[in-house]
Amino acid sequence: MKAPRNKRLMNQKNPRRNRQTFGGFFLLILVGVFLLFVFRFSYIVISGQVNNENLSQKASALYQNSTVLRAKRGTIYDASGTAIAEDSTTYSLYAILDKNHVGTNGKKLYVTDKAKTARVLSHYLPLSRQNILKRLNPKNPNTFQVEFGAAGKGLSLSIKQAIDKANLKGIYFNETPARLYPNGIFASHQVGLAQLQNHDEKTSAEAQNLTGIMGLEKTFNSSLRGVNGSKKIKKDSYGYQLPNTKAKEKAAKNGNNLYLTLDTRLQTYLETLMSNAQTKYQPKQLNAVLMNPKTGQILAASQRPTFNPQTGTGLGNFWRDTLVADAYEPGSVMKVFTLAAAIDAGKYQPNTTYASGQIRVGGTTIHDWNKTGWGTIPFSEAFARSSNVGFVHIQQLMGQAKWLHYIKKFKFMQKTNSMLPGEVSGSLQYQHASDQAITAFGQGINVNTMQMMQGFSAIANNGKEMKPQIVAKMTDPNTGKTTNYQPRSVGKPISQDTAEQVRQAMEDVVYKKYGTGRVYAIPGYKIAAKTGTAEISHANGGGYLAGRNNYIFSVVGMAPADDPKYVLYITMKQPQNMTKEASVILSEIFNPLMKRALDYEQSNATTTTQAQMPNVTGKTVSDATAALKQKQLTPIQIGTGNTVVQQMPVKNEVVLDHQRVLLLTNGGMTMPDVTGWSKSDILKLAELTGKNITTKGTGYATKQSLPAKSLLNSAKSITVTLSKPK
């Protein structure tokens, strides 16, 4: 028991040995730390990274500055070369309130005179002086900066410059790339929309590009958007470029420009007619397309509901381009193709008679639209009367295989690839005899509007079927290269003789006393047309909806009938305020638009004295006013600014002496004095401003709920009272 105790005593008496042991242990630790340091240093030297950050890049960033040179998004033009979508820059306003925000020289960089700031800004923003003062005096005294909501965003360059001239301390702007749509509602779903996408937080603000999210803006996004460039300089610690150094610059590649086939004169008129019909009859959907059947070029196209891409009004309500994205049963306008197929196949017997009213096929009874028919009539009357029973007989005479052959020849159930995104191919129910029979009058087959237009072109163009075309060409501003999109024939499903016979039958629809389309006659021109009334399936698939308005009403017309230059097709789904017969409602769009197109065609062949609307967009209000008065037009200013940002009518549209021209300026939108205005003018004002302006009564404006010169944003809705002159 004494040995261990003696050993401890010996160790305590040997301090030198203890120091050696401790020293060795400490040395071992130092060597370990040194090796760890060497290893870490070697790793940094070899990899050049610390905490996954590149040291070389960090060091370069201290002495090098890189700036993004943003590419200009390509412009979209109409057929005449007028811009309908172009690159722009907008500005967002903010105010710094923090009194600690001063410059290196002690200069105050915050708002110092709130009263003056509120007074000046109230002239350029649709906000009152009191509202602005309230924002400049937030409840939290430590607020660093404030913004002004939607009123302070999307400001034009001219407004920014006007505010800058006031030399307001503490007022600053953020620059944002934007897209300008000067015509407002203008084939909105077809032209589309480009917006700034902010999903990528790693991308700097100046590097953000507009992205097409709808329509042709989406289809051609990669061509329109261009490629950003860059500029790099070497800088000193103060951020200035080092002397005797050159900037490394990579030029931006601007986006390609797109030229469409749309005729602004016809397009803007169509939009006005569509808005009038939408307001009066409130259909759930309304579509219209005007085409040149010789080329397939779309001259005008519109749909309701729609939206204003400039203001965003209506954007959240309806995103689909219903001209290609919606498949529907076309109804009796399909008889155009059934008749063409029967004539072309040699199976049409116009002088043979049949008993109209009803027919039973495969256990299903099929009725004429009036339920009773017209007694025994010849097949030559079946088309003009729109007899379902007659066309079931015609389909049976052809045989199901031959009829299906022509359905395919007309390219139904195939996408037209008209460059509009989201197109559906359609469908066909053809298993049973009753299925085959009802396709003869447009049931059991689902199509889209562009497929119908493509098929109609064969009837109007003497058998030659043309692909619908909305893009004419694309130009590259960087190289000068032009890519032309030539008209393209997709086949010849019928002969010229067949097409001529079908058009003659379509004339009977308009000019025979028993025709269903007599309302579509236009004095001075020969019109060929076919009407349609298509039932709408229940959402759950169980039969069809009942009710006077639960149909898709339609008309297709061709003019001049002997050699059509235009095909116009209109569909209207479920009008909620059906105060007139469907054919009368559709004629309020069809007749004036077709007549205007034909008048243009005639005036182009002769010397015309009609005045054309000048382009005053971008001019000062005073210059625009002078130019319009010189043309004997009446300018109406809508806005507090001094620069015209949008006009209606648009450039090149035919105008009449003393016609009102609406000039939307920068700044807050203001209500004009509408005394004496027609309902059409009121609707144009609502369309241009995107505001909820309704009318009551008939005649001309005598009273308005919002006083003249008031800011439009100060009222959620505006009512204009119309009265007939005494």
Pairwise CA distance, residues 508 & 503, whole Å: 9
- The continuous run of DSSP H or E covering 521 comes out as none
Selection from 334, 343, 296, 338 nearest residue 496 by Cα: 343
> Which residues, at least 6 apart from 554, have a Cβ–Cβ distance to it below 8 Å?
330, 331, 333, 531, 532, 533, 534, 569, 570, 571, 572, 586
Give CA 697 to chain center in angstroms. 32
Selection from 658, 638, 660 nearest residue 649 by Cα: 660
**Are the beta carbons of 213 and 346 closer than 8 angstroms?**
no
Main-chain dihedrals φ then ψ at residue 367, nearest 5 degrees: -110, 160
Pairwise CA distance, residues 22 & 37, whole Å: 23
Pairwise CA distance, residues 225 & 124, whole Å: 31
Please identify which of the residues 275, 332, 356, 418 carries the catalytic annotation.
Answer: 332
Q: Tell me whether the omega of the peptide bond preceding residue 487 falls within 30 degrees of 0, making it cis.
A: no
Q: Tell me whether the omega of the peptide bond preceding residue 305 falls within 30 degrees of 0, making it cis.
A: yes
Pairwise CA distance, residues 127 & 117, whole Å: 12
Please report, for residues 185, 221, 279, 571, the alpha-carbon distance to residue 284 in angstroms, rounded to integers and kept in the order given: 18, 30, 11, 11
Tokens 């360059």 belong to 157
Each residue of 673-711: b (16+ CB within 10 Å) or e?
A: ebeebebebbbbbbbbbbbebebeeeebbbebebeeeeb
Pairwise CA distance, residues 67 & 89, whole Å: 18
Give CA 338 to chain center in angstroms. 34
Amino acid at the residue 3: A
332 is catalytic: yes
Catalytic residues, which ones?
332
